[in-house]
Amino acid sequence: MAQATGDRKVNRGSTVRFNHVFTRENPGKIDDFYTMDRKKQLGEGSYGQVTHGVNKATGASRAVKSIDLSKIPNSQRFEDEVNIQCSLDHPHIVKLYETFKDAKRIYLVMELCTGGELFDRIVDLAESHADGHAFDENGAATYMGQILGAMQYLHTNEFVHRDIKPENFLLANKNLDAPIKVIDFGLARKFKSGDPLMKTKAGTPYYVAPQVLGGAYTEKCDVWSCGVIAYILLCGYPPFYGDLDEDILRRVKAGKFNFPSPDWDTISTAAKEFIKISLTFEEAKRPSAADLLAHEWLTKKISQPSGGYVGKDLGAKLKVFRGVSKLKKAALTLIAQQLKDDDIEELKKTFTLLDANKDGTLSAKEIADGMAKHKVQIPADLDEVIRQLDTDGSGNIDYTEFVAATITQKQYSKKEVLWAAFRTFDLDGDGSITKSELSQVLKNASETLVESMVVEHDTDGDGTISFEEFVKMMSI
């Protein structure tokens, strides 16, 4: 049995590399592809509304955000928002599948979350409990783990959200333990260590960090907002309050808050300490999202997914994925992005169990340690196996990469699933995938790689891949 690898990331090596951003702007009309229930709105904002849509080819339910082009104040800013969301791959960040555009509107086809906003869940629970508390400590810690995992992922990938609040988290379903998804990247932007401090005064009064109000801040503005949310999850009201925005902001600028009795008498010292350090006034001393994920309150209180397990065949599955064709790897990665959470619930639970630091990605050490902990045989060549899984070359195994490597043929071989994947590659909709189309979809894939993908599966020698050839490839 191989020894667990060290803390290093997966080494780069000679393997298949392609971009995982499969979101596409479709040339056709959205009504040709989706049945829209425009009478039943899922939500409404200043720029448009969200309705329920069903993909005519696959039957998949989606949330479709319709945005009036005339109401977009800054088209470049909006394009940046879409590009940011397209590039994100995390189990607690809502997925953007595709976009459409007509003369009046742009349509964002997104993952459907049916449980409503976290804000409404907090209000409902606080009103239903005699003590006014929203969540118990296990529930609050579990959600904070999901939120901070998403924040660590964003910050590691040099993004800052800048509008973290309960209204910007959706519950995946109506279950009491429903996972949450981060939404609304309208204020998000690229930011990395060493960049000039951000100056734009963005955010929402209850949750905004004092440095944002001062016009000089870093990604730790998100951490402050997370501290405010943790406070609210436990007691049902914010630490900085007031009848008017100016009253709230005055308290935020002072940075002083307390834990009033009797509401906080039964809350643990560890929970209060977690909130105190999250709301550290001096930004340089405020912990990172990664630091908070390691805090004892989270590590002891987070509820593990019920029924989750690491299967004895995990090593075998990973090795099988290493051996599949290059194009099939790309197709499985695309399919993994588009499958509903309900369809891959067990895989998600396995991923969560392996993801020791809750950042939404897997290191070589986490995979090896998890397999060892669950007494799963570790392949002798695990480092090489993992390197082959890292198809975008990020250095870690992203959520989609793990799902792509572990989904079963039964899960991905349904005709409607294969057709949806094929249609993503077939950009002009003529029934065949060309080298040019593959290059456009896979973006950073080399010309040699694209050439080999087509040649390997072009059985009739016409220089393209038909749907029949695609289906045959996926059955091998």
- Tell me which DSSP letter residue 186 carries: T
- Tell me which DSSP letter residue 117 carries: B
Q: Which amino acid is at 442?
A: L
Question: Is 462 annotated in the active site?
Answer: no
Q: What are phi and psi of 433, to 5 degrees?
A: -100, 120
- What is each CA distance from 297 to 165, 180, 274, 397, in whole angstroms? 21, 20, 7, 27
Tokens of 180: 């949450």
**String of DSSP letters for 306-364:** TT----TTHHHHHHHHHHS-HHHHHHHHHHHHHS-GGGGHHHHHHHHHH-TT-SSEE-H
Residues in the chain: 476
Tokens of 285: 């001393």
- The answer for residues whose C-beta is within 8 angstroms of residue 376's C-beta and 6 or more apart is 310, 311, 312, 314, 315, 370
Tell me if residue 26 falls in helix, strand or coil. Answer: strand
Cα–chain center distance at 12: 24
Which regions of 77-220 does DSSP assign to beta strands (E)?
Answer: 96-101, 105-110, 159-160, 169-171, 180-182, 189-190
Q: Which amino acid is at 84?
A: I
Name the nearest CA neighbour of 356 among 412, 415, 396, 414.
396
Tokens of 4: 């667990």
Q: Catalytic residue, from 89, 163, 355, 359: name it.
A: 163
Tokens of 73: 């104040």
Task: Name the packing angle between helices 137-156 and 269-278 (round to 10°).
Answer: 30
The separation between the first and the last C-alpha atoms of the chain, rounded to the nearest angstrom, is 29
- Report d(CA 157, CA 306) in Å as an integer: 30
Residues with a known catalytic role: 163
